[in-house]
Amino acid sequence: MKMNKHFSIKFFSALALLLVAFLHGCQTPSSVSNNNLSEIYRRSDQFLEPEFVIYHVSDSESEVHFKINTANLLYTKAANSNYEGKVRLSYQIFKDFDSNELIDSSSTVFTDTKASKEIKDVIGSFKVKLSFPNSYVLKIKSTDIKRDQSTNTVIPIDKSTRNSRHDFLVKNLKTGTTLFRKHINSSDSLLVDYSSTEPYNQVTVKYYNRYFPVAPPPFVNYSAKPFDYKPDSTFTVQLSDSGTFIFKPSEEGFYHIQTDTSDMNGLTLFYFDDEYPVINTVPELVSATRFITSKKEYTNLSEAEDQKKAIDDFWLTISRNPDRARELVRTYYNRVENANFYFSSYKEGWKTDRGIIYMVFGPPNSVYKSNNAESWIYGEESNYSAVSFNFNKVNNPFTDNDFILERTPAYKTHWYRAVDAWRQGRVSTLDF
C-alpha cells in the first residue's frame, strides 16, 4: 500500500482524550493461547491493519510505536467541516502465551482530524512498564470507534538480554519516522537507535547471502540443512555519543547487527528485493506456481523463451476464460504477498512451512498460539472432518517468526485435492 503523507501524533497528548482502565481488578483474563487469533492472518478482514514496533528505552520501560493508515479508518464530518476519525488502543501484557496472569493493561482513545480526505499515516507511541530481564506477550486491541470494528495484534517481547531486536529502533534517516517493516531495500537510508546504557562504541554487522529452497509439501518428511552461521562478510559501524548509527544496505541478503558478538541475539534486517513483499517480476510469478503445476509444466514455464506469455497461457488454460483467470491470478498472488507479509523470516514468507499452507489452502478458520507452537484449523473445530496443521517455533537468532510444520502423510489427500481445485480454475480452500 502506498502512503501519500506521514503524520505523527503524541499518544498521550491533550488530543489523545482520556486514559481508562482496560480490565477491572476482579476479572480474570483468559490466556492468549486460549483465544482464536485467526484474524491476525486475514488482512482483508482487518479494517485498521495497524503495525507495531517495540523499543526498550530502559530496564523498566519500553515504547510501543504504532502506525495506522487513514485509508483504513472511517472518518465522518465534524461540526467545523473537518473530517474526524477515532481509534482506541487497548493493551494487555502477559508473562507468556499460556499465562492468565495479567501484568498490566490500559486503554487510550485518540482523535485524528483532517481538512480533506487525504491519505496519510497516523504514527505515534506509548510507554509500557516492562522490566529487565524478562520476556512478555503483548496483546493489543485496535478499535475503529466510528465503525465499531476491532483488530487484535499479538506481539512476543524479548527483554531477557540487552542485545535483542527490541533494543534497536530503526528509523528513516530523512524523515525520522519509525520503520515498521523488517525488510529493507536499496533506497533505504536508516538511522538506528540503540537503547542500552552498556559502554559499546560500535556495532558489528554480519552479512549473509544464502539461497533457501521452498518448503516441500506438508506430507513430505525432510530434514532441513543446518544453517552455517559463518557470515559471508563482517564489518563494524561506529556508534555516536547518543547511541545511534547510520545504516544503508548494499546487497540483497540479510544483515545481523550486534553490540555483543558473544550473544547470538541482535537486530536483523532482511533485503529480499526492492519490491518485497509484492512479487511482480515474471520469474517470481513463475516460481510461486511451483505447487500447482506439474514438474513438466514448471520446467516449461521456467525455461520458456517468453516467460510472460507462458505464465499468462498457464492461467488462461486452467481457468478456461479470461475473467476467471483474472480472479484466480488476483487471489493466488494476493495469498503469496500476504504470506510474505506474515511469515517472512530468514527467507521469503511464501517459501516457509506456514507460507505454503496459507498459499494453497488460504487463511485458516482458527489459529491458536502458545509459547513454542502455533496451530491452524480449517473447518469447524468440533467437526471431525476439520484439518489441523501444527507448527513448532524454531529458536532462531535472526527472527522470532520461524516455525516448522509437524509433517504427516495424512495431509497428502487434502493437499492434492486443493491443488486440483486450483487446476480446475477454482479458488482452493479447506473451509468446510
In a domain, 117, yes or no: yes
Residue 431 has pLDDT above 90, yes or no: no
Before 277, cis peptide (omega within 30)? yes
In the block, cell 520458456 appears at 304
- Domain ends where: 271, 297, 315? 271
Check whether residue 203 and residue 253 sit in a common domain. yes
Answer whether 372's CB lies under 8 Å from 236's CB. Answer: no
Check whether residue 131 and residue 258 sit in a common domain. no
266: left (phi over 0), alpha (psi -120 to 50) or beta: left
Domain count, the chain: 3
In a domain, 132, yes or no: yes
Q: Confidence class of residue 350 from pLDDT cuts 50, 70 and 90? A: very high
Average pLDDT over residues 22-31: 58
Could you give the C-alpha distances from 68 to 53, 117, 185, 325, in angstroms and in order? 12, 15, 22, 33
Answer whether 142's CB lies under 8 Å from 88's CB. Answer: yes
What per-residue confidence (pLDDT) applies to 43? 77
Write out the residue range of the structural domain in which residue 111 sits: 6-160
- Domain ends where: 271, 292, 314? 271
Residue 244, C-beta contacts closer than 8 angstroms, at least 6 positions apart: 191, 192, 193, 194
Instruction: Tell me which of 355 and 427 has the higher pLDDT.
Output: 355
Check whether residue 30 and residue 94 sit in a common domain. yes
Cα 7 to Cα 119: distance, rounded to the nearest angstrom: 10
CA angle, 177 as apex, 171 and 182 as ends, to 5°? Answer: 45
Check whether residue 144 and residue 194 sit in a common domain. no
In a domain, 172, yes or no: no
Check whether residue 82 and residue 137 sit in a common domain. yes
Check whether residue 264 and residue 290 sit in a common domain. no
17: left (phi over 0), alpha (psi -120 to 50) or beta: left
- Domain ends where: 271, 294, 322? 271
Residue 225 has pLDDT above 90, yes or no: no
Give the pLDDT confidence of 48-78 residue by residue, as tens digits: 889 999 999 999 999 999 999 999 899 998 8
Cα 317 to Cα 138: distance, rounded to the nearest angstrom: 47
Check whether residue 21 and residue 138 sit in a common domain. yes
Check whether residue 14 and residue 151 sit in a common domain. yes
Check whether residue 109 and residue 196 sit in a common domain. no
| CATH number for 82 | 2.60.40.10
Check whether residue 290 and residue 369 sit in a common domain. yes
Check whether residue 24 and residue 44 sit in a common domain. yes
In a domain, 178, yes or no: no
Residue 154 has pLDDT above 70, yes or no: yes
Q: Confidence class of residue 28 from pLDDT cuts 50, 70 and 90? A: low
Provide the β-strand partners of residue 152: 141
Check whether residue 34 and residue 81 sit in a common domain. yes
In a domain, 430, yes or no: no
Query: For residue 229, which amino acid is it?
Result: Y
